[in-house]
Amino acid sequence: MRDEAVTVPSDAAFRAAVLERLSSDHGGRRDLCSVRRAMAAVLRGVVVPIWQSALERGAGHKRVAYLSMEFLIGRLAGDTLLSLGLRDAAKAVCLELGLTLDDVLEVEPDAALGNGGLGRLAACFLDSMATVGCPAVGYGLRYEHGLFRQGIEDDKQTETPEDWLSRGYPWELRSARSYGIGFFGTVTDGVWKPSETIWAQGYDVPVPGWQGSFAGTLRLWAAEAVQSFDLGRFNGGDHVGASETEASARALCRVLYPDDGTEAGQTLRLKQEYFLSAASLADLLADHRAAGLPMETLPDHVAIQLNDTHPAIAGPELMRVLIDEEGLEFDAALKLARGVLNYTNHTLLPEALESWPEMLLGWLLPRHLEIIRMLAGAMPGAGILGGSEVRMGNLAFAMAGRVNGVSALHTELMKETVFAGLHRQHPERIVNQTNGVTPRRWIAGCNPGLAGAVTAAIGEGWLTDLERLGELEPLQPGVVEAMAEVKRANKVQLAAWLGATQGVQVDPGAMFDVQIKRIHEYKRQHLNILETIALWQEMRDAPQAGWVPRVKIFAGKAAPGYHFAKEIIHLIGKVARMVNADPVTGDLLKVVFLPNYNVSLAERLIPAADLSEQISTAGKEASGTGNMKFAMNGALTIGTLDGANVEIRERVGAENFLLFGMTAEEVSSRRAIPDHAATAIEAEPRLARALEALRDGTFIPDWPDLFAGIADNVSGPDHFLVASDFADYWRAQREADRWFADADGWAEKAALNVARSGWFSSDRTIRGYMADIWGISPVSA
Ligand code: AZC
């Protein structure tokens, strides 16, 4: 449904425009950065009218406000070129300038506005909403430094600030929207007088849908001082102090997830959450008022989605506005709020369901604490307050019209565990929306070879209707071979890149086995590395035993304060050092840990993967989205029955999925057995031997017990049941070897994974939200 009013330049006009920009804005320089900027400026000139026309078409239609602390959007130029059909034109102009398009695209910084799965999901949703015609604004924060940049020194993680904004960001427009957001102060008779005000300044990133069909907005709030510079103080000689208010306001949006180990850190985090919530609500209410609509009709015009618990304070803020500014009664305000608010839960891990001390909340937001107490009084069974803390997950649930989980299993577990009580009171409230990913970025953008093979087999159309991948079946031999050829080429390319950038030589014929995600005990990178150690030991015992060569690739960041996760990174680095230099195993086994995992690195790795590691302790991974990206790029999953793995296996077929491990139920009963780890280790000498290597200095002779902490954890409490799942994981890995040794059989299984993963498009997920949660129909062409 491409908008006919939208004009995309011809290849020749695009070329002329880029050259013109290069000359007018960059003095004709032909370096990568200048060319990138010139191209971005031209693309922005195409995108902005598409965006404006979509906003006009969507005017008056019900829309979504998607509130999220994270948006991991990655680079935008490549995506935009692809969507507008200008990739070939861009390639040609780059060549003409003596550069390659890939190199030019690579100098765009990754917008570091997210941390993990929920942030990337939000970015996929923006793309899908813009493509399926769902009017939406994604509201987030414009973190100056985003999440930290990860380095590796001496095999250990280092953290430095990201500087994605330091040279300007061509995709944003400073918006006319700005609001004063109050903090602290006092409340007298229900009237809040904040003692600090920080200005929320909107910056808009237009989000065009596929081929300019429609568009949405990512609106990021920057924190600015109401008065940024004190001239009197400056003239009085306090030259630095004169900018103090500005520095203090800007501190609010410096980094994502500031360490909340101190009270100052906690205050800053809650301040960020409130800043996002209050500015976004002020913005959408301003639109509602400007349209002259009565407040009672708000639910007919907007649906608010709280992406996880972080923006839960939006509930009390909406109540405050409705009661204090609009003069509604409490009950009417609650009914209205519940008509617009919805909440997605992304994790059952108790530590991630935020709770704030009442003291802290009452100090920063005194009126909100009063309202929260009223809410708790009105809903005594909701568990909003507990142990002098405000439980934000319960608060979000209590105020939401719909609450959703992100995979079938996660949604059921939500009903049985964290929200069991609330679910009994409101059995209709929880719904499931299994995650999805955008095929534009995660197939066409990152794997053009595969996209070409699919189009050659079934024609176009699958990119906006991914279930059509099913038309690849019954598999024609030519198709399987074409896909296998693409995989091989992607692996050759990755091998060359690994050699050039990491100094590791790998054999493209080996199985590329990839685990990329945040480093966390529940995701069990330590299970993977222990299996790697055991494999290495057995290979050394019998190097001629016909092993299938492996390249084990890891990437992921550890939270700065998460010591155990950092130890896992360190261990992987040391194992890599030892194994990669071992002449006995040689090309049979290589181990790589790649620094600074981000969207762009994922785009490089996923198309070249044979095996996708999705090995979390069952019941812990809410969904996963990487698991979907791998499957649709023709990797086989080795995985537990956790999160969306369950649904992936159902769809791709059990015979094309390497299942291992305990189920969520078995995990609970196993954990109750005293000495579960010790018994598992006793029964599995391979694991005992691998653990021994962590204690005897195999990997660090000078400091033999450096990794004893990991070994002690796995042999002791082992909350995540690494020991108990090890034997079955080893079995499944050897099964993977056997399957891989049969190249034709493997290629067929890989092709079936592609053909059967169409359901995991985020277009399907968004249509589900529109129908079941938001009550929004698409804007027609
Ligand atoms: C993640 C979940 O861990 C992951 O399983 C899921 O796929 C993703 O959200 C999207 O739903 N959670 C987070 O990123 N962060 C938190 C705080 O849960």
Question: What number is the ipTM of this complex?
Answer: 0.99
**141 and 82 belong to one structural domain:** no
Look up 663 and say whether it is catalytic.
Answer: no
Place of tokens 């948006």: 71
C-alpha–C-alpha distance, residues 505 and 671, integer Å: 41
Ligand 1: which atom is nearest the Cα of residue 410?
A: 5
The Å distance, Cα 555 to ligand 1 centre, comes to 17
Place of tokens 């090309």: 587
Which stretch, 260-264, 697-701, 730-734, has highest mean pLDDT?
730-734
CATH code of the domain containing 523: 3.40.50.2000
Nearest CA to ligand 1 atom 15: 118
Look up 410 and say whether it is catalytic.
Answer: no
The Å distance, Cα 754 to ligand 1 centre, comes to 24
Look up 271 and say whether it is catalytic.
Answer: no
Number of domains in the chain: 3
The Å distance, Cα 27 to ligand 1 centre, comes to 45
pLDDT, averaged across the chain: 96
Token digits of residue 483: 């896909």
The Å distance, Cα 623 to ligand 1 centre, comes to 7
User: What residues line ligand 1, using a CB cutoff of 6 Å?
Assistant: 116-118, 121, 308, 346-347, 352, 406, 435, 621-625, 643
Look up 518 and say whether it is catalytic.
Answer: yes
Nearest CA to ligand 1 atom 4: 624
**660 and 515 belong to one structural domain:** yes
**363 and 349 belong to one structural domain:** yes
Identify whether the C-beta of residue 51 lies closer than 8 Å to the C-beta of residue 123.
no
Whether residue 5 is predicted with pLDDT greater than 80 in this model: the reply is no
**DSSP labels for 17-32?**
HHHHHHHHHHTT--SH
Q: What pLDDT is recorded for position 637? A: 99
What backbone phi and psi angles, to 5 degrees, belong to 233?
-65, -40
SS3 content of the chain, % helix, strand, coil (to 5): 55, 15, 30
pLDDT digits (tens, 9 = 90+) for 631-687: 999 999 999 999 999 999 999 999 999 999 999 999 999 999 999 999 999 999 999
User: What is the torsion angle, in degrees rounded to the nearest 10, for the CA atoms of residue 316, residue 319, residue 324 and residue 328?
Assistant: -160
The Å distance, Cα 115 to ligand 1 centre, comes to 10
- The answer as to whether 776 is a domain residue is no
Strand 341-344 relative to strand 173-183, pairing:
unpaired
**504 and 492 belong to one structural domain:** yes
For residues 589-618, give the mean pLDDT. 98
Whether residue 3 is predicted with pLDDT greater than 60 in this model: the reply is no
**465 and 403 belong to one structural domain:** no
Whether residue 574 is predicted with pLDDT greater than 90 in this model: the reply is yes
Identify whether the C-beta of residue 25 lies closer than 8 Å to the C-beta of residue 35.
no
The angle, 0 to 180 degrees and rounded to 10, between the axes of the packed helices 722-741 and 743-755 is: 110
Q: What pLDDT is recorded for position 1? A: 41
- Count of CB atoms situated within 10 Å of the CB of 590: 24
Q: If you ran DSSP here, which 8-state letter would residue 557 be given?
A: -
**55 and 115 belong to one structural domain:** no
Q: What pLDDT is recorded for position 4? A: 54
> Mutation test of ligand 1: which of 346, 413, 620, 623 has the most ligand atoms closer than 8 Å to its C-beta?
346
Place of tokens 């990669």: 580
Look up 346 and say whether it is catalytic.
Answer: yes
> Mutation test of ligand 1: which of 68, 113, 115, 118 has the most ligand atoms closer than 8 Å to its C-beta?
118
For residues 509-534, give the mean pLDDT. 98
Q: If you ran DSSP here, which 8-state letter would residue 607 be given?
A: G
pLDDT bracket for residue 261 (50, 70, 90): confident
Q: If you ran DSSP here, which 8-state letter would residue 350 be given?
A: G
Ligand 1: which atom is nearest the Cα of residue 621?
A: 5
**519 and 406 belong to one structural domain:** no
**553 and 697 belong to one structural domain:** yes
Q: What pLDDT is recorded for position 6? A: 64
Q: End-to-end CA distance of the chain, in Å?
A: 5
Q: Which of 625, 637, 698, 765 is catalytic?
A: 625
CA distances from 352 to 131, 346, 391, 436, 735 (A): 32, 9, 11, 22, 36
**250 and 101 belong to one structural domain:** no
Domain span at residue 47 reads 1-60+76-108
Ligand 1: which atom is nearest the Cα of residue 625?
A: 7
